[in-house]
């Protein structure tokens, strides 16, 4: 969601190019990261022989390793730059995001991670289609996986292109398109060569870098305030110009009745979306057992929770030490707050400041690349395993053919997202990421929960909830202020927005659940009792799990 902030105003940032003098250092650090991760990818690629290696990293990662990788997949650069910036400018309201993003993990822990690990093999579609007629449900699961991932991917690509362009001081359109293309080529290489194994290691490296970077900055901020957090908050409130209101809810979302409803809609989409994000779900297949999947969620909750707690110090620290004027001068949405804070902490105009800025910028870049690779893997896996192997080839494709399809799908998805990313580089990323979470919560989560826990769920119910949730969320966004009618819309010059909320979750999530239920109740087909017995016993006991 926080990619939100990384969006439509980043371009303006590119204009201010005080960063250009640090360009050689930043480029060197980027290059080191790219070289190191490509090395890991090639090494992982040598060990990737079977489909299980390619899709699930051989299922041999430990719970801690996967917990780190899950955290890496989840904490996007936008989360780092966006939440810090939102807190720096809107105070308490920025912090609200962190809470939704974290609490959401409990849905995954209590209801989804273990049953999914036990009953699926490579994709989300494995579980959704288990009890159902394979071809229609696999197709639906594949479509939904690819749609969610592409929206998420697009937001990251657009943000990446502009962010990197900004940090390198590139302002021309051609230069930005080139950067988007470079990110696209790198992600194709990571995924086609390294598969899940390579991607998982890239996520781990990134998670460690991100946590280390955030921790270093947090400690430096707290040091400036003698570790007195109340003092930090007080100074931030004073410098913000809002006084005590800066520490209270409402600066961003409390303006009107509609914005309050929008916040509730967003809150629901956040908390229910995570457990329906395909790129997160397939990570649970990389560990050997459901117990390890549970432990990896616990690690992820610890790591992600700690990270979001640190964003409080970073955001309020930026407000207190730099102040809103200077932050807005660099970027009206606050996206530059974290790099600005890094430079301030190292000493503006000194070598220390330049090094801190370069390091934190490189961390942000690493973060984007890793998330993008994870998303590409999720969508190409689903294409190859759900649509190619099970729908087109009706389950008769060999492992070799399936992996070849996955690699070609990766190239295709990479090329498509380079194209869309280049076109979308000036679009409002907020709508895209919000849409990804809302679609995941509306289309995927109801279907996953009904499949696992409701014995009367049928093929028709599954199709209604997937396509209904998918269509209603996309449809509502199309007619929302995200797309038209406001200065920040994708098409600011026209106005066909009759749906007032930017996030469709409030309507589309209940609708997804309702359609799954109605579709099942109205269907003439008897639920397959034998298949449900297999799924239920497998999901709770791990009998016959891959």
447, 516 Cβ separation under 8 angstroms: yes
CA-to-CA dists, residue 65 to 95, 310, 374, angstroms:
28, 22, 15
Q: Is 294 in the site for another protein (CB under 8 A)?
A: yes
Options 253, 437, 450, 467; binder of another protein; rule CB under 8 A: 253
Residue labelled with tokens 């609708």: 511
Q: Is 215 in the site for another protein (CB under 8 A)?
A: no
Q: Is residue 325 exposed (0-12), middle (13-18) or buried (19+ Cβ within 10 Å)?
A: exposed
End-to-end CA distance of the chain: 34
Rounded CA-CA distance 316/269 in Å is 26
Q: Is 537 in the site for another protein (CB under 8 A)?
A: yes
Q: Is 110 in the site for another protein (CB under 8 A)?
A: yes
Tell me, residue by residue from 306 to 325, as one string, x for binding to another protein by CB under 8 A and - for no binding. --xx----------------
Phi-psi region of 515 (alpha: psi -120 to 50; beta: other; left: phi over 0): alpha
Residue labelled with tokens 């270093």: 216
Residues 48-77 close enough to bind another protein by CB under 8 A: 50, 52
CB of 302 to another protein, least distance (A): 7
Q: Is 420 in the site for another protein (CB under 8 A)?
A: no
CA-to-CA dists, residue 370 to 9, 33, 184, 361, 474, angstroms:
23, 11, 11, 14, 26
- DSSP assignment of 262-276: HHHHHHHHHHHHGGG
Residues 75-94 close enough to bind another protein by CB under 8 A: 92
Q: Is 222 in the site for another protein (CB under 8 A)?
A: no
Residue among 150 and 300 whose Cβ is closer to another protein: 300
Dihedral over alpha carbons 146, 150, 152, 153 (to 10 degrees): 130
Rounded CA-CA distance 159/371 in Å is 12
Q: Is 185 in the site for another protein (CB under 8 A)?
A: no
Q: Is 132 in the site for another protein (CB under 8 A)?
A: yes
Q: Is 23 in the site for another protein (CB under 8 A)?
A: no
Helix, strand, coil: what percent of the chain each, to 5?
A: 80, 0, 20
Q: Is 541 in the site for another protein (CB under 8 A)?
A: yes
Tell me, residue by residue from 261 to 290, as one string, x for binding to another protein by CB under 8 A and - for no binding. --xx--xx--x-------------------
Q: Is 196 in the site for another protein (CB under 8 A)?
A: no
Rounded CA-CA distance 159/77 in Å is 9
Residue labelled with tokens 């480029």: 27
CB of 491 to another protein, least distance (A): 29
Residue among 202 and 406 whose Cβ is closer to another protein: 406
Q: Name the E strands within 326-389.
A: none
CB of 340 to another protein, least distance (A): 23
Residues whose CB is less than 8 angstroms from the CB of residue 381 and which lie 6 or more positions away in sequence, other chains included:
55, 122, 123, 196, 282, 406
Tokens of 507: 């309507």
Q: Is 35 in the site for another protein (CB under 8 A)?
A: no
128, 137 Cβ separation under 8 angstroms: yes
CB of 50 to another protein, least distance (A): 7
Q: Is 256 in the site for another protein (CB under 8 A)?
A: no
Options 11, 60, 182, 249; binder of another protein; rule CB under 8 A: 249
Residue 133 half-sphere exposure toward CB, CA atoms < 13 A = 9
Options 5, 74, 90, 130; binder of another protein; rule CB under 8 A: 130
Q: Is 142 in the site for another protein (CB under 8 A)?
A: no
Residue among 91 and 468 whose Cβ is closer to another protein: 91
Q: Is 105 in the site for another protein (CB under 8 A)?
A: yes
Interface segment toward another protein; rule CB under 8 A; list 98-106, 320-328, 335-343, 366-374: 98-106
Residues 386-415 close enough to bind another protein by CB under 8 A: 390, 394-395, 399
Tell me, residue by residue from 476 to 515, as one string, x for binding to another protein by CB under 8 A and - for no binding. ----------------------------------------
Q: Is 295 in the site for another protein (CB under 8 A)?
A: yes
The one-character DSSP state at 484 is B
Options 56, 146, 297, 483; binder of another protein; rule CB under 8 A: 297
Q: Is 456 in the site for another protein (CB under 8 A)?
A: no
Q: Is 426 in the site for another protein (CB under 8 A)?
A: no
Residue among 92 and 344 whose Cβ is closer to another protein: 92
Q: Is 224 in the site for another protein (CB under 8 A)?
A: no
- Of 177, 174, 171, 172, residue with least CA distance to 158: 177
Phi-psi region of 287 (alpha: psi -120 to 50; beta: other; left: phi over 0): beta
Options 31, 35, 99, 258; binder of another protein; rule CB under 8 A: 99
CB of 53 to another protein, least distance (A): 11
């Amino acid at each position: 969601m926080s990619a939100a902030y990384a969006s439509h105003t980043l371009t303006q940032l590119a204009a201010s190019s005080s960063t250009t003098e640090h360009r050689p250092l930043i480029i060197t650090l980027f290059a080191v990261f790219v070289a190191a991760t490509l090395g890991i990818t090639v090494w992982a690629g040598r060990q990737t022989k079977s489909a299980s290696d390619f899709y699930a990293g051989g299922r041999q990662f430990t719970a801690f390793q996967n917990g780190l990788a899950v955290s890496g997949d989840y904490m996007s650069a936008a989360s780092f730059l966006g939440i810090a910036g939102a807190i720096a400018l809107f105070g308490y309201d920025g912090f609200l995001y962190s809470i939704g993003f974290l609490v959401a993990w409990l849905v995954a822990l209590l209801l989804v991670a273990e049953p999914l690990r036990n009953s699926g093999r490579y994709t989300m579609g494995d579980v959704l289609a288990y009890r159902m007629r394979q071809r229609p449900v696999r197709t639906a699961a594949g479509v939904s996986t690819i749609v969610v991932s592409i929206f998420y991917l697009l937001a990251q690509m657009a943000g990446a292109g502009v962010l990197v362009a900004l940090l390198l001081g590139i302002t021309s359109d051609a230069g930005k398109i080139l950067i988007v293309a470079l990110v696209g080529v790198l992600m194709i290489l990571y995924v086609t060569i390294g598969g899940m194994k390579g991607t998982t290691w890239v996520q781990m490296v990134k998670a460690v870098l991100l946590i280390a970077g955030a921790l270093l900055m947090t400690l430096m901020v707290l040091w400036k305030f003698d570790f007195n957090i109340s003092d930090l908050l007080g100074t931030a409130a004073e410098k913000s110009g809002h006084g005590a209101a800066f520490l209270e809810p409402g600066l961003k979302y409390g303006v009107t009745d509609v914005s309050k409803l929008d916040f509730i809609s967003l809150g629901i989409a956040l908390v229910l979306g995570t457990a329906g994000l395909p790129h997160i779900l397939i990570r649970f297949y990389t560990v050997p057992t459901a117990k390890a999947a549970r432990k990896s969620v616990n690690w992820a909750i610890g790591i992600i929770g700690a990270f979001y707690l640190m964003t409080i110090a970073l955001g309020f620290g930026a407000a207190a030490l730099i102040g809103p004027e200077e932050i807005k001068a660099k970027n009206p949405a606050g996206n530059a707050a974290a790099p600005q804070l890094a430079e301030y902490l190292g000493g503006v105009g000194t070598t220390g400041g330049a090094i801190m800025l370069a390091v934190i910028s490189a961390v942000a870049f690493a973060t984007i690349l890793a998330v993008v690779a994870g998303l590409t893997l999720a969508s190409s896996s689903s294409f190859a395993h759900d649509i190619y192997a099970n729908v087109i080839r009706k389950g008769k494709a060999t492992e070799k053919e399936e992996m070849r399809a996955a690699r070609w799908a990766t190239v295709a998805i990479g090329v498509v997202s380079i194209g869309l990313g280049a076109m979308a580089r000036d679009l409002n990323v907020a709508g895209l990421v919000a849409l990804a979470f809302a679609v995941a919560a509306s289309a995927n989560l109801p279907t996953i929960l009904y499949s696992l826990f409701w014995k009367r769920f049928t093929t028709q119910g599954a199709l209604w909830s997937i396509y209904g949730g998918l269509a209603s969320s996309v449809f509502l966004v199309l007619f929302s202020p995200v797309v038209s009618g406001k200065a920040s819309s994708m098409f600011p010059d026209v106005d066909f927005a009759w749906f007032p909320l930017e996030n469709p979750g409030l309507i589309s999530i209940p609708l997804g659940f309702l359609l799954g239920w109605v579709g099942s109740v109205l269907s003439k087909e008897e639920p397959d009792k034998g298949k449900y017995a297999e799924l239920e016993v497998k999901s709770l006991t791990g009998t016959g799990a891959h």
